[in-house]
Amino acid sequence: MIEMLVNMMSKRMVHHKVIMQKELSIIQYGLQAMIETLLIFCTMIIFSIFLGRFLEALAWVGTVFLIRSLRGGRHAGTFLQCYFISVGTFVSCMIAIHFFQHQFILYWIIWGAALLLLVCSLVSLGTRSGQENAQKIGTLINCLLLLAYGFLIFLQNTNPILLASLLGLTVSQLSNVWKREPNPEYSPN
């Protein structure tokens, strides 16, 4: 459905000379990625409003977007798989925040998991071919976030927004550890 909509929109752009024919495939890829990402993001925002966790959702989505943009991660085989994995993970994290935000030990457990996953992803970098600048910056941001979160938790300055961002970091790290090449027939967002 999305692909059909993108094809129709991009062909109209060519017809009205907004873009040139040689740019068609690039525009189609970009439009499809934007629409798919927007659908996932809108669903998450709607759920967060329904759950009364809008600020936590922004912290989670912002952290995941930042880390996944810079470090990459595992891609689903199709958009529907991506949609349900992304939204399912998000809703699970929001529910966990609702029930466990006052469990201080949980902050340390999640922080430790994020640290362990960062170490695992750094070890796996040795087996991959080359590390791009964005990945190096992403690794640095990961380390700084972990350091900042550890410091805040040490000071017992915990709140649901910190927990949301920490869960987002952990999920992003997990995706990076289980990284695989994207399906060439699917345009990942």
Report the C-alpha gap between 61 and 41 in whole angstroms: 8
Nearest to 172 by CA among 112, 89, 58: 89
Query: Mean pLDDT throughout 160-182?
Result: 77
Report the C-alpha gap between 62 and 59 in whole angstroms: 5
Max avg pLDDT among 3-12, 37-46, 58-67, 97-106: 37-46
Report the C-alpha gap between 62 and 47 in whole angstroms: 16
Query: Mean pLDDT throughout 112-133?
Result: 67
User: Quick check: pTM over 0.85?
Assistant: no
Q: Is the predicted pLDDT of residue 34 greater than 80, yes or no? A: yes
DSSP annotation of 157: -
Weakest mean pLDDT among 67-81, 137-151, 171-185: 171-185
Helix axes 160-177, 104-125, angle to 10 degrees: 30
Nearest to 43 by CA among 7, 85, 76, 8: 85
Weakest mean pLDDT among 7-11, 106-110, 143-147, 183-187: 183-187
The first and second tokens of residue 54, run together, are: 């809008």
Q: Pick 39 or 106 by higher pLDDT.
A: 39
Q: Is the predicted pLDDT of residue 153 greater than 50, yes or no? A: yes
Q: Is the predicted pLDDT of residue 127 greater than 70, yes or no? A: no
Nearest to 26 by CA among 13, 42, 41: 13
Residue 41: per-residue pLDDT: 94
Q: What is the mean pLDDT of the chain?
A: 81
